[in-house]
Amino acid sequence: MHLDLKKLHHAVVLAEERSFARTATKVHLSQPALTRSIQALEAHLDARLFDRDLTHVTPTAVGLAFIDRARHLLQQAATLQREVELLRSADLGDVALGVGPIPAKVLLPQVLAQLAREHPRVGATVEINNWQVLTEHLLNERIEFFVADTRDLPPGEPLHITRIGAPQTGGFFVRSGHPLAGQSRVSPKTLAAYPMTSVSLPQLVQRRLRHYLGENDSYPNLPTISCDKLEIVTDIALNSDAIAITVHAAVQTEVAEGRLQQISLLRKLPTLASEFGVVSLAGRSFSPSAQWMIERMKQLSA
């Protein structure tokens, strides 16, 4: 069966917009031309894909199943075209990627610096955010892949997850001059008297922290101040009595300079670690530039 990719694209956009007028504008067609395209596709398939009335366009049951397959086929066609173009140009090509807050701090600067040194003509567009937002942008194909802590992200279609590197261990950190700085064998009860700040924490890490700190009305939310910009988390700890929960690699400069100190604990802290994963669309091969960046991130995180 011969299927026109343009008509598939028109149908997918119509399913998203639910309006012939908005879809026609988005795909740069007149509304009558769009109507003819959809009618021709339905005639070719001998199936009604959309129910229409004066104000609404709704995919039929057959249409919903078809649109899902058509969207996947269009993604594969776009990947094939991109790969052929890259092979023809014999260059890495530009790349758009996402990075979670912690790998953005401990991996990204070195990788981007190496990219600039070795491939100065290659462009990289980077979005730093939490895994929920990055997943949405990956599914919308605004980025090719992302690297983040993905323990709360369910594996399987339509995503592919590959763990990379060793877990990045962490602890509690406070500013120099903090009431707990320099104290030895600080108890969980003493810790719980202070606010805590961190990036968004995986559910597993939150459960371990709650168990360690004990039941405490001071922590309806953990951390007290959550921010997915690691630099802001560090600044909060440097300029207040808040305790930063983070990995060692993210604050090694501040610790080396004496501006932050790790708290010495009475009871051994449960394993607090960030585990990095590369997340991409299932069945999608990486562009050469994406492969290059992922390999460098694997080397660093190891």
Q: Per DSSP, what are the bridge partners of residue 58?
A: 51
77 plus 104 within the same structural domain:
no
Domains contained in the chain, number:
3
pLDDT tens-digit map of 140-170 = 889 999 999 988 887 766 899 999 888 888 8
Q: Which pLDDT band holds residue 221 (cuts at 50, 70, 90)?
A: low
CATH number for the domain spanning 40: value is: 1.10.10.10
Q: Which helix (H) or strand (E) holds 253?
A: helix 252-256
Cα 126 to Cα 289: distance, rounded to the nearest angstrom: 13
The DSSP call for residue 255 is H
The predicted model scores a pTM of 0.67
- Per the structure, the complete domain to which residue 287 belongs is given by 91-166+276-301
The better pLDDT of the pair 217, 123 is held by 123
Average pLDDT, integer, range 204-233: 80
Q: Which two tokens stand for residue 280?
A: 């991409």
245 plus 176 within the same structural domain:
yes
CATH number for the domain spanning 116: value is: 3.40.190.10
In angstroms, the Cα distances linking 267 to 6, 24, 196, 203 are: 63, 64, 18, 22
140 plus 281 within the same structural domain:
yes
Which of 61, 87, 113 represents a domain boundary (last residue)? 87
105 plus 234 within the same structural domain:
no
* Per-residue pLDDT, 269: 80
233 plus 150 within the same structural domain:
no
151 plus 195 within the same structural domain:
no
Is the predicted pLDDT of residue 83 greater than 80, yes or no? no
Q: Are 246 and 230 in contact (CB under 8 A)?
A: yes
* Per-residue pLDDT, 210: 84
Sort strands 95-99 and 196-198 into parallel, antiparallel or unpaired: unpaired
54 plus 191 within the same structural domain:
no
Cα 96 to Cα 125: distance, rounded to the nearest angstrom: 5
pLDDT tens-digit map of 191-209 = 988 999 999 888 888 888 8
Q: Are 135 and 159 in contact (CB under 8 A)?
A: yes
Residue 241 CB partners (closer than 8 Å, separation 6+): 174, 175, 178, 179, 194, 195
Which of 64, 87, 110 represents a domain boundary (last residue)? 87
Cα 41 to Cα 7: distance, rounded to the nearest angstrom: 7
Which of 43, 70, 87 represents a domain boundary (last residue)? 87
198 plus 258 within the same structural domain:
yes
* Per-residue pLDDT, 199: 92
Q: How many CB atoms neighbour CB 294 within 10 A?
A: 19
Q: What is the mean pLDDT of the chain?
A: 88
